[in-house]
A and B are shown apart, each in its own frame.
Chain A
Amino acid sequence: MRGSNIWRFLKSEPFAVAGGAIYAVIILLAVLADRIAPYNPREILRVNRRIARYVPISPEFWLGTTAAGKDVLSQLIHGARAALEVGITAAVAVVAIGTLLGLLAGYLGGWVDKTVTRVADIVLGLPFLPSMLVLAALTHGGTSTVIITVTALLWPNTARVIRSQVLSLRERAWVEAARVTGCSNARIMFVHVLPQVLPLAALYGSVAIGWAILAEAAASFLGFGDPEVVSWGVMLQDAYANQALSRGAWNWFVPPGLAIVLMVLAGFMISRGSEKLLFPKLGDQ
């Protein structure tokens, strides 16, 4: 692409660019966390023999400290890591399963379609947070539970949309041509149709990252996350449990929430072009 073309592209999609920039920053933070963070996020910091609790914003602690004497800024930076881990893993899983099932249902039709649609309907009948709650109580909570729940409960949205698209693609001439020349179903699905739906799937992925992070935050807040992991959700739960609200410790509970907002927002903005992605049930016919 020529320079002017790139510039034109960027100008036409300011939201997508902004979203991408936010992600870039978060990825950078996650990768360089150990170098950038001023302290070990788990370390109980001391000031003279006493624990540095609830220190307000100050030169030593740019965002102050928690009730347990840990540095808020360091926790915030390291939280990016957990956010990306959960977000990307869950998003990839949701999109992979959703795309696969949508593809199979849309292309093969018949009982495959019926089964997938039925199962999707049942899954959509399960309320999200309560299910995660119960599953977290079954296992002993933690990020893997969050990822599994998000995957298990959110794939239907992707699957439906992919299925719709596959349905329309199926009738195209080139698919007919492939069939006539003797290509197997599998070959047609995965070699010809799949690449066509991938962009849609990818866009879905960027939204799914957001849902996964919100889910992790909610799970942690309710006490079902993994307290050993430094994540934004755990930071918020920590703050709430230690009555940071009463204390007016805005420096503690505002930044992690903002971080979550930014990251989820970035996902939305990248997929800005296609509103249908955000409201799938109403998009498909």
Chain B
Amino acid sequence: MWRSLLALTSVLVPSLAIAQTAGDPIRPLTIITQPQAADPREYQAAEIIADSWRKLGLTVNLRPLPGQQFSQVVWYERQRWDVTTWQMVGRPERGDPDELTYNLFVSANAANGYDFVGYMNPDYDKLAQAQRQELNFEKRKALVLQAQEMINEDQPYGFMVHPKNVVAFNKTVWDEKSFVPQAGIGIRSTWSWLNVAPLGAQKDVILNSVAPPTNLNPFNIPGQQGSWATEMVWDRLMRVGPDGLPQPWAAEKVERPDPLTVLVTLRKGMTWSDGKPVTIDDAIFSLQAPGFGDKSPMYKPFVRNIDSVTATGPDTLTIKLKAPDAAFLISSLAKLNLAPKHIWEPIFDDLKNKPQTAESIQEEKPVGSGPFRIVRAALNQEIVLEANPTHWAKPKVNRWIMRIMPNVEASLGALKSGEINFLADYTGDPQILRDLAKANPNIVVSEALDIGFKFLAYNERRPPFDSKGFRRALSAMIDRHLLAEDAWGGAAEPANSWVSPALEAWTAKGIVDRVPGAGSLEAAQKMLKDAGFVLVNGKLHYPAGVKETTAPYN
């Protein structure tokens, strides 16, 4: 009897021990993505990553969702998804890291804002706030670096890559040297369009866009490609220069005597495309209008910090801020469009008692004071701009034409045949473009690291993503170099921060190599073990006593 009892216990105890030391098996996890055809590279990256996560003993599924549904789920149903692919697009205004540093990770934005992963860290909140108000560059840089290290430690995102902007042009049409590269954007910049010199008979910039602009309205954001046009139709007080820093543009001079004051001297002699002169009232109106009620939701956040704007002379105004803001020049003055008060004030007045916002208004012939004027805009087909002869920075080209070509192949063919002379929007396989350039010596390809980045977002509202060790293990398994080389065909660089190396002033050097446990399966497994997770028969389980209470994505 003792023998059988012993035998029994020797069987029962270990199994009891196992049962006690491991929680429930982790449910199958789902990565939601855009449809494959929308971004084959991103989809492929997700496939590769899913593969590597399976090595940890997880069941991982990929689920592409059609465009609208995708945004809907990620943005409005924050309890529902596990992991999603996502990206932050590089815009000139994001040349200052403030916008992303603050919006992405500060707890206040977790419910409805850009912190859709639900990262809540009071230490980070303090850091983000501090860098926003620190006007001394060296001190601010130290804070931004610290923030990046903090995020590296906590891994709320599985950063993937910083994409490169791959563009191409015909060098028999354009003088190569006349393009002006902008940090984090490349040669497809407003500075290029203002400076590019035609070599031959063709004096128009003809470029492509994959997506049509949704509107041409100074109080609305028309999407990435549309903004290439609107940036030139409407001027701003400042512009982000080729070095990534804001410089005076429609303003002659901008001074900051103290942290809460900005003094602006308006450039003289500017006119609207309908002939009327640009006045200081227009400038004041443009800074105030986005704050009128909720009539300009896109731009309202950028004027939120403005306490008052007053004219101090025929060409000067003073802006008083509510709180110190290190990035105000680039995030607001280089962003807000100068709009004609005589056209838009009546519109805003009219909208006061209506539910629509100013964003829904579309002028027949939009009026701006920029270096280009709108000749013709059939949003789905093409936008035609012509050089503004009265502008001080008059372009050397006659017209700037953007053709909407949603078909990637068609745009390549158009470049080859000369139908377009600048390939501005290329979302396809970069190797094909490089091969095209090799076969066609007239075609020059230019690749520039972008300000933006692509990543996997871990939803911390749903276990096991609330476990720091779990997230670090997942991130460790992402082979960023492989993704950059293979999934993105070399048109990307590995990323481990929202600050792109293109922003030399702010980038944390070598942070990609500092991903905890990077590249090593053993290190990842150790991190999981340290966090309490248990591998049972090749399947990953929660720590002991933890039940799986979350339903799989459906």
Contact = CB atoms under 8 A, between A and B. Distances in A.
A–B in direct contact per CB < 8 Å = yes
Interface of A: 44, 49-51, 53, 67-69, 137, 140-141, 223, 227-228, 237-238, 240-243, 245-247
Interface string B467-486: 00000000000000010011
B408 A227 contact: no
Contacts of A240: 37
A53 B430 CA distance: 13
B66 A137 contact: yes
A44 B47 contact: yes
16 contacts: A44-B47, A51-B482, A51-B486, A51-B487, A67-B40, A68-B47, A69-B486, A137-B66, A227-B35, A228-B62, A237-B37, A242-B429, A246-B409, A246-B412, A246-B432, A247-B429
Given A44-B48, A51-B48, A67 B429 contact: yes
Interface of B: 35-37, 40, 44, 47-48, 51, 61-62, 64-66, 69, 408-409, 412, 428-429, 432, 482, 485-487
Q: Which A-B residue pairs are the 8 nearest by beta carbons?
A: A241-B37, A51-B486, A246-B432, A68-B44, A242-B40, A243-B428, A241-B40, A243-B429
B36 A227 contact: yes
Contacts of B36: 223, 227, 237-238, 241
Contact of B408 (A49, A140, A228, A243): A243
A240 B62 CA distance: 20
A131 to B, nearest CB: 17
Contacts, number: 54
Contacts of A238: 36
Contacts of B47: 44, 68
A67 B37 contact: no
B51 A44 contact: yes
Contacts of B482: 49-51
Contacts of B412: 246
B37 A53 contact: no
Given A223-B36, A227-B35, 7 more contacts: A49-B482, A50-B485, A67-B429, A237-B37, A240-B37, A243-B429, A246-B429
Nearest to B485: A50
A67 B44 contact: yes
A49 B429 CA distance: 21
Nearest to B64: A227
Nearest to B486: A51
Q: By DSSP majority rule, is chain B's interface helix, strand, loop, or mixed?
A: helix
A225 to B, nearest CB: 11
The secondary-structure label for the interface of chain A is loop
Given A237-B37, A243-B428, A247-B432, A53 B486 contact: yes
Nearest to A244: B429
Nearest to B481: A49
Nearest to A43: B51
Nearest to A42: B47
Nearest to B429: A243
Contacts of B66: 137, 140-141, 223
Contacts of A140: 65-66, 69
A240 B35 CA distance: 14
Contacts of A246: 409, 412, 428-429, 432
Contacts of A245: 409
Contact of A223 (B37, B62, B408): B37
B54 to A, nearest CB: 11
A39 to B, nearest CB: 14
A158 B64 CA distance: 36
B553 to A, nearest CB: 12
Contacts of B37: 223, 237, 240-241
A50 B35 contact: no
Contacts of A49: 482
A47 to B, nearest CB: 11
A247 B428 CA distance: 11
A51 B69 CA distance: 31
B445 to A, nearest CB: 15
A67 B61 CA distance: 20
Contacts of B61: 228
B520 to A, nearest CB: 14
**Which of B35, B37, B487 is the most central at the interface, judged by chain A CB atoms within 10 Å of its CB?**
B37
B206 to A, nearest CB: 21
Contacts of A67: 40, 44, 429
B44 A243 contact: no
Nearest to A136: B66
Contacts of A50: 482, 485-486
A272 B65 CA distance: 42
Contact of B35 (A53, A223, A228): A223
Contacts of B432: 243, 246-247
A242 B486 CA distance: 13
B271 to A, nearest CB: 46
Contacts of B44: 67-68
A181 B409 CA distance: 71
A237 B487 CA distance: 18
Contacts of B40: 67, 241-242
B426 to A, nearest CB: 11
B356 to A, nearest CB: 27
Max count, chain A CB within 10 A of own CB: residue among B44, B69, B428, B485: B44
A72 to B, nearest CB: 16
A279 to B, nearest CB: 35
Contacts of A53: 486
Contacts of A69: 486
A67 B47 CA distance: 12
B535 to A, nearest CB: 23
A48 B135 CA distance: 50
A227 B64 CA distance: 8
A227 B35 CA distance: 9
A247 B64 CA distance: 25
A234 B389 CA distance: 52
A44 B66 CA distance: 24
B237 to A, nearest CB: 42
Contacts of A243: 408-409, 428-429, 432
Between A44, A242, A247, the greatest number of chain B beta carbons within 10 A of the residue's beta carbon is seen for A242
Nearest to A66: B44
A217 to B, nearest CB: 15
Contacts of A227: 35-36, 64
Nearest to A247: B432
A268 B425 CA distance: 45
A50 B69 CA distance: 34
Contacts of A223: 35-37, 66
B290 to A, nearest CB: 35
A156 B51 CA distance: 46
B506 to A, nearest CB: 32
A205 B409 CA distance: 38
Contacts of A51: 48, 482, 486-487
A237 B43 CA distance: 14
